[in-house]
Amino acid sequence: MNRKKIARIMLEQGLFTRIRKKSWRPFYKALQEHRTAKNLLARKFEQVKPDAVYATDITELRYGAGRKAYLAAFKDLATREIVSSEISKSIDIKFVNQALKKAIFRLPKSKRERLMIHSDQGFHFTHRNFRQILAANKVTQSMSRKGNCIDNAPMESFFGHLKDHLDLEKTYEELTASVTKEIDYYNSVRPQWDLKRMPPKSFRRHLNQTAGFS
């Protein structure tokens, strides 16, 4: 017996059922909690002014017997320097927001208002708390197009390089120490061809001296 026949019989017998309308509250709540931003960066990765554009992302790191940790990092696209990072055993919003605050509050208020932060459309970056921190400091938000990792290629490149230099650490403490050591080496020692064969921190000083970016 199909639905139409059942409906006809119910109508003949004076039987009615209340059809509950779909609630829009969960959808509305999701819109309030998570919002995306336009891709303002549009793959213009070759920035010339320090502290103008930071790219950010999160990656998974493994240690011990199949355990996982997560690294959030912010990279200055002009100097290639990792200006902020946080590691966590949990992929919650808290550690990402901590990394965001470190990246923003290293700058004076006047520079924060000229800063753009670019990310993918991941949960942490569309979250209301993340966006509120940006808005409170007048930082512009930019996001990659959905499912397009090339739009955030600088972070993909950095994470790939970092993992190439990490061993499978036995403990979380060992992993944290190794990541910190590798980021320090990347920022302060490792020369990069595109940075006139300087490490990122040296290149930052070079830009400040020659181009007056300070």
pLDDT at 31 exceeding the cut of 60? no
Span of 20-24, 126-130, 196-200 with lowest mean pLDDT: 20-24
Mean pLDDT of 144-156: 89
pLDDT category at 5 given cuts 50, 70, 90 is: low
Asked if 200 and 208 count as a contact pair (C-beta separation under 8 A), the reply is no
Query: Token match 């990246």: residue?
Result: 103
Identify the helix (H) or strand (E) that includes residue 143: strand 140-143
Q: What is the pLDDT of residue 28?
A: 42
pLDDT at 154 exceeding the cut of 70? yes
| DSSP assignment letter at 160 | H
List CB contacts of 166: < 8 A, sequence separation 6 or more. Answer: 61, 175, 178, 179, 182
Q: Please indicate whether residue 6 or residue 39 has the higher confidence score (pLDDT).
A: 39
Query: How many residues in the chain?
Result: 214
Asked if 59 and 159 count as a contact pair (C-beta separation under 8 A), the reply is yes
Reported as a single tens digit per residue, the pLDDT across 57-110 is: 999 999 998 999 999 999 999 999 999 999 999 999 999 999 999 999 999 999
Q: What is the pLDDT of residue 211?
A: 75
Span of 33-37, 59-63, 146-150 with lowest mean pLDDT: 33-37
Domain ranges of the chain: 33-210
The pTM (predicted TM-score) of the whole model is 0.83
pLDDT category at 147 given cuts 50, 70, 90 is: confident
Helical ranges in the chain per DSSP H: 3-12, 25-33, 93-105, 109-112, 123-126, 128-136, 153-164, 172-188, 200-210
Please provide the DSSP assignment of 72-131 as one string.
Answer: EEEEETTT--EEEEEEESS-SHHHHHHHHHHHHHTS-HHHHTT-EEEE-S-HHHHBHHHH
Asked if 167 and 156 count as a contact pair (C-beta separation under 8 A), the reply is no
Q: What is the pLDDT of residue 168?
A: 86
Q: What is the pLDDT of residue 183?
A: 98
Reported as a single tens digit per residue, the pLDDT across 118-130 is: 999 999 999 999 9
pLDDT category at 143 given cuts 50, 70, 90 is: very high
Mean pLDDT of 22-28: 46
CATH architecture of 33-210: 2-Layer Sandwich (3.30)
Distances (CA, A) of 86 to 34, 154, 186: 22, 18, 16
